Every structure is written in structure tokens, then in C-alpha cells.
Amino acid sequence: MTMKQYPSLEIVPPLKGMTKDELLDDIRPFIEFTPKYINVTCHRDEIMYDEQPDGSYRKRLVRRRVSETAVCGAIQSEFKVDVVPHLICGGLTAEQIEFQLQDFKFMGISNVLALRGDCLTGEKRFSPVPGGYNHANELVEAIRCFEKENGCEGFFRIGVGGYPEKHFEAANMDEDIANLKRKVDAGANYITTQMFFDNKVFYDFVDRCRKAGISVPIIPGLKPISTPKQVKLLPESFSIDIPFELTSEIAAHEEDKESVYQIGQEWAMAQCKDLLAHGVPGVHFYTMGKSANIIGILRECF
């Protein structure tokens, strides 16, 4: 029996000031395509230093976005769709992570994406807070330990991140695959990949994973390019390659915003169709605040 392939989405929590109704209205167009789940990203509090009259500086935390837990609750209540909050190592102690898991369990949120998280601005290397976790595999282990200690073994379905073009901190692809296997061996149920623009890169990645003994589902992540600026920004931000065929076509139309938008959508749509034809379990879309281009792909492919 062939399993139904599904779309899933990732959204970013809104900046403070956006209302719940505005957020839900942004998500509503996706619901007709029955996404299997909606991921909600997590963002560390920022550190600001305010100069005082005596010349000293006072440290304070700044939170620019609504919490992922609040967003998950709003989505879950309105649409009855599974939500997947991101749970990160950065900025949290082991105790604070346990508190988060208690909240998720209370809310009936049984799916989480366990990530190390990014460095703070200005940091050259990731540094956990005292009493925090340094790697995502440690976070996965902590979630499984929480289940045992609270009599709810198997409650959480844990996703982890995979990098078809290698995490930028890994020395080579073999090292990166070994790191990924540690996360799976710690108890992860599935892998969601970083965005990519060449399906061959994904298929090669899956092949490497299988040869390394990683057998959990691997869900590809896609992001349609919508502006010429993204040709530069996406590789800088995510350490990924964009094929010359795509960048050259965008460059030839960079003064025509509608053409660039269509080029990016058609490229991602072709990727999606090819991935589905190759039997992937589902396709995960990074919305990054954009919906119309992804809605068009969902309408065509699902």
C-alpha cells in the first residue's frame, strides 16, 4: 500500500505587535491542503547593553517575537493541525528545557524539532549557557530522559535537522553524517533537511545517510526564491549553493520582480514534483513570511 505524501510548513513567529488574528489569517490559506504539521521556529532572546549616566552599562534581554509556544497554542486551537515547536539548546539551561517539555506535554504537543540553534550575533562559535546543552544529540537524549522520568515514554516524536550540503561548521560531509547519526541514535524519529535547490544533492545525501546506517524518514525542505536579493542572501545565511542555471535566469530578469517570482516558484515546483516522483514521504516548505508562491506549488503538487 502506497503511503500518502504530504506537505508541511515552517513559519516564523510574528514580531511583537502583530495580532493573533493577523497571524491566523496568514496561515489560513495553507489549511485547505491539509499540511501534516506546521513547524514554528524558536528565537533566542537578544542581549542589549544600555549605557548608564555614570558611564557603566546595564545588560538586558530583548525579545522581538512572540514565543513559539504561544504561536503553537494559537494554531492548534484554531486549525486542529499538529504543530512542531523548535526546541533549541541555545540560551536555555537543562532545567528550562525540561520546563518547556512540561508545557508541551500539558498542551498535547507531541512533536518537536530538536536543534542546537545558531550562535548569537558576534559569536564565532556556539556557546551554551552554564548548565545547557552543547549539541542537538544531547537535547534528543534529554527529551527521551524526560519521558522516562515522567512516565510518558514514546510521547514525543522528535525531528532533527539534516544538511544535504553539510553544516557549515563540519569539516567534511562524513563528519556531518556522523553527527547526524548521533542524533538519530539518541532517539530522533525523523530528519528534516535544510533547503536546497538541486535535487541531486538531496538524493546523494539520502544515499550517504542510508549507507551510514540512518534509516529514519528524511523529509526534504524547499524554499522558492522570490526576489533577486535572495540569490545572495540565502547562500550567505544558510551555506547552500544555488545552481548556475537558476541564478543566471534570475539575473537575466532581475529588473522584473514578477518574472523573478515566477522563475523561483517554477523551479521549486519542478523540484517538488521530482521529489514526490522519487517517493519522499513529504515535502517541507520554508515560508519565511511568504505564502502565495508556496500556495501555488501546493495547488499543483498536492
Question: At residue 39, what is the residue type?
Answer: N
E strands present in the chain? 6-11, 37-40, 46-51, 57-62, 82-88, 111-115, 157-162, 190-195, 218-222, 282-286
Is 168:239 a contact under the CB 8 Å cutoff? yes
Nearest CA to 180 out of 155, 201, 205 is that of 205
**Share in percent of the chain as helix, strand, coil (round to 5):** 40, 20, 40
Cell of 118: 545558531
Rounded Cα–Cα distance for residues 29 and 260 (Å): 23
Nearest CA to 249 out of 231, 235, 272 is that of 231
Rounded Cα–Cα distance for residues 215 and 217 (Å): 7
For strand 57-62 and strand 46-51, is the pairing parallel, antiparallel, or unpaired?
antiparallel
Rounded Cα–Cα distance for residues 273 and 297 (Å): 9
**Contacts (Cβ under 8 Å, ≥6 apart) of 2:** none
Q: Other C-beta atoms within 10 Å of 173: how many?
A: 16
Nearest CA to 112 out of 189, 213, 217 is that of 189
Is 10 part of the annotated catalytic residue set?
yes
Reduce the DSSP state of residue 104 to 3 states and report it: helix
Find the catalytic residue in 10, 68, 141, 147.
10
Annotated active-site positions, please?
A: 10
